[in-house]
Amino acid sequence: MICGRTLFDAEAAMDGSEDLKAFLAGAARGDRAAFASLYRATSPKLYGAVLRILNDRALATDILQEVYVKIWSHAARFDPARASPLAWMNAIARNRALDEVRKRRTVSVDADSEDRHLAAPDIDPLGGRARNEELRRLLSCLDGLDPERRRIVVQAYCHGLSRDELAARFSHPVATIKTWLRRSLLQLRECLGE
C-alpha cells in the first residue's frame, strides 16, 4: 500500500459497499452485531491507514480502538450521499492518526526527497508487484503537479502537516494552500482514473 492511496476512495476495489452501509445503519441504531460485522470488514484497511501514518504498531492499535469508538458514536451522522462508507471511516481514522502525529511531533521532513518515500514496508511479498505498480502510477501522477504543489500534497497527506503548518512553511495564505490541495487532489484523481 502507499501513503497516497488514502487520498482516494479505496472502496472501488472492495465488494460489499452496500453491506458496509447496512452495517453502519445498524450501528447507528445501536446494533452491536452490525458494528462487529463492520469492524471485521473494515479494520484491516483502517489499521493499515493508521499504521502508515504512525509507523508504530502498538500505537496504531490503540488509535484504531479510538477510531471505532468514534465510528460507533457517530454512525448516525454518516451520509451516503456525501461519501462511501469506507471513505468516511478512513477519513476518521486518518484524521485521528494525524492528530496523534501532531501531538507527538515525531515527524521528520526532508523536503527534497519526501515524495520518493511513499511506500510502506512490504509485508506481503506476493503483493509487492501490485503495490510497486500503484506507487509508480502515483509518482508519475505526482510528477505532473507543479513541484511546489507536489511538496505541499506530500507534506499534508504523507507527513501530516496541517494547512496552517503548510501555509507557514511555504509562505502562502491558508486559503491558497486549501485551494491548491483540493485542485491537486482532483488532478491526481483524474490522472489515476479514479
SS3 labels along 85-100: HHHHHHHHHHHHHHHH
Q: What is the chain's alpha carbon radius of gyration, rounded to the nearest angstrom?
A: 17
CA distance 133 to 159: 22
Residues 61-83: what's their mean pLDDT? 91
**For the chain, domain boundaries:** 3-104, 114-192
| CATH class of the 3-104 domain in this structure | mainly alpha
Could you count the other beta carbons within 10 Å of the beta carbon of residue 83? 15
- 126 vs 170 pLDDT, higher one: 170
Short-list 12, 36, 38, 14, CA closest to 24: 38
Confidence (pLDDT) at 11: 37
132-168 pLDDT, tens digit each: 677 788 888 888 888 888 888 888 887 788 888 888 8
Mean pLDDT of 63-92: 91
Mean pLDDT to the nearest integer, 85-91? 91
Predicted model pTM: 0.49
Q: Is the pLDDT of residue 73 over 60?
A: yes
The rounded percent of the chain whose pLDDT value lies above 90 is 33
Helix (H) or strand (E) holding 6: none
Per CATH, 3-104 and 114-192 having the same topology is answered: no
Q: What's the CATH number for 114-192?
A: 1.10.10.10
pLDDT attached to residue 94: 92
* Model pLDDT for residues 25-69, shown as the tens digit of each residue: 999 999 999 999 999 999 999 999 999 888 889 999 999 999 999
Q: Who's near 33: CB < 8 A, 6+ residues apart?
A: 26
